[in-house]
Amino acid sequence: MNASSECATDAGVSEQEARDLLEALVSTPSVSGEEREACDLLVAFFEDHGREAWLDEVGNVRAPADDAVLLTSHVDTVPGEIPVRVEESGTTSSSRDQGGETAGGDDGDGGPELWGRGSVDATGPLAAMAVAAVNTGVSFVGVVGEETDSRGARHLVTDREAPETLVNGEPSGWDGITLGYRGLLAGRYVATSESGHTSRPQNNAIQDALQWWSRVEAAFEPGEGDEWSPVFEQVTPKPTSVEGGTSDDGLAVEATMDVQFRVPPAMTTDDVRERVERELNGGSVHWHDAIPPVMTSPRTEVARAFRVAIREAGGDPRLLRKTGTADVNLYAEAWDCPMATYGPGDSDLDHAPDERLPLAEFDRSVAVLESVAQTLGGDA
């Protein structure tokens, strides 16, 4: 084992204290680029429990300890205000008052749920990992910027060596283990044409852009017999913004289109890039991000530890593949170590206006993470 710092784990975190940390973090706005207050709260949590913690150059929360396991999740959320409250069976049973106190509630199935931006993606997994790290003495990092440019994860893989094993925090449900994510290719299409009367039959730049995108979509349509293949195994092309019109000097028509492609493990980002560029018709694409897909084995020691822990907690383990992209894609590209993604919450509620997390599920996820950390090398 590689212990990178001394840690004290005798001051364990209780279930209620864990819930308090979760609600405090969800109540602290942490939109990408504005994570500092939430990061400071995490540093204070670790220091209050005898652990060394600090913010690194890009703002990540670093709490190194036993590197047999690195628990890491992202601090940032997408924008969107959802009033933070705890509701049970559709009625408000408790909420954070001005003093920050939270009333208790039933912690069984169907009991209280914490509403708020980030409760699922990914403050729930983040808080569960922080508690498990304190209670088992393993390493922890809370990274910034996952929802935008993954600057926290990109810095992390260049700033430290690979851990022995890694668990990335994203919602999978307390009984789910995510083993695969599609990759991401992102760029901007740019086209320019001479201005002219709209009665002319020749394409202008806007038409070039629209026709190019139609051809791109057709190029990635499932072939005969593949119509029912899972989305995870397909390329998903998606425009994210479009602008076009006459230039300020009136001499040209311009068009730009920001585009993204989700890339399945059967392909590489280079494969997708080449196919997209074959459809060009006068414009050009300027690529600015390429993250490879990842598919890890269900037979690694991390995956086995999760299956055992979930069964011991009364669950039936589910192995998942996600159609999006996460920081674990970057970790898998940079580090040759066993890894999996895990965390409480229903990923269908990611970024949703009704984002909420059952507190009983949060409790179970903490127990599962602690069991996994202990199995892989943390304190028993």
Phi/psi region, residue 377 (left: phi>0; alpha: psi -120 to 50; beta: rest), is left
Q: Are 78 and 31 in contact (CB under 8 A)?
A: yes
d(CA 295, CA 139): 24
Model pTM score: 0.87
- Same domain, yes or no: 57 and 90: yes
* pLDDT band, residue 202 (cuts 50/70/90): confident
Quote the Cα angle for 363-372-295, to 5°. Answer: 105
333 a catalytic residue? no
- Same domain, yes or no: 65 and 144: yes
Q: What is the pLDDT of residue 5?
A: 38
What are 245's strand-pairing partners? 254
146 a catalytic residue? yes
- Same domain, yes or no: 97 and 24: yes
- Same domain, yes or no: 112 and 57: yes
- Same domain, yes or no: 254 and 354: no
d(CA 128, CA 341): 13
- Same domain, yes or no: 170 and 197: no
Which of 241, 266, 291 terminates a domain? The answer is 291
Which of 257, 291, 325 terminates a domain? The answer is 291
39-48 own/partner pairs: CB under 8 Å, 24+ apart: 39/75, 39/142, 39/144, 42/75, 42/126, 42/130, 42/142, 45/21, 45/130, 45/134, 46/130, 46/133, 46/134, 46/140, 48/11
Range of 117's domain? 15-181+293-376
Domain of residue 308, CATH code: 3.40.630.10
| Helix and strand numbers, DSSP H then E, in the chain | 9, 17
Q: Is 155 annotated as a binding residue?
A: no
* Residue 5 maps to a domain: no
- Same domain, yes or no: 142 and 212: no
- Same domain, yes or no: 188 and 169: no
Which of 23, 35, 67, 76 is an active site residue? 76
Lowest model confidence (mean pLDDT) among 3-12, 106-115, 209-218, 358-367:
3-12
Q: Is 149 annotated as a binding residue?
A: no
- Same domain, yes or no: 226 and 210: yes
Which of 291, 322, 351 terminates a domain? The answer is 291
Which of 35, 66, 113, 146 is an active site residue? 146
Number of domains in the chain: 2
Q: What is the pLDDT of residue 249?
A: 85
- Same domain, yes or no: 170 and 45: yes
- Same domain, yes or no: 132 and 145: yes
Lowest model confidence (mean pLDDT) among 20-24, 226-230, 231-235, 358-362:
226-230
* Residue 229 maps to a domain: yes
Q: What is the pLDDT of residue 104?
A: 32
* Residue 4 maps to a domain: no
d(CA 106, CA 363): 12
Please report, as a single letter, which amino acid is at residue 37: E
Highest mean pLDDT among 8-22, 77-91, 245-259: 245-259
Q: Is 170 annotated as a binding residue?
A: yes
Q: How far apart are the first and last CA of the chain?
A: 15
Domain of residue 273, CATH code: 3.30.70.360
* Residue 356 maps to a domain: yes
Q: Is 74 annotated as a binding residue?
A: yes
- Same domain, yes or no: 77 and 174: yes
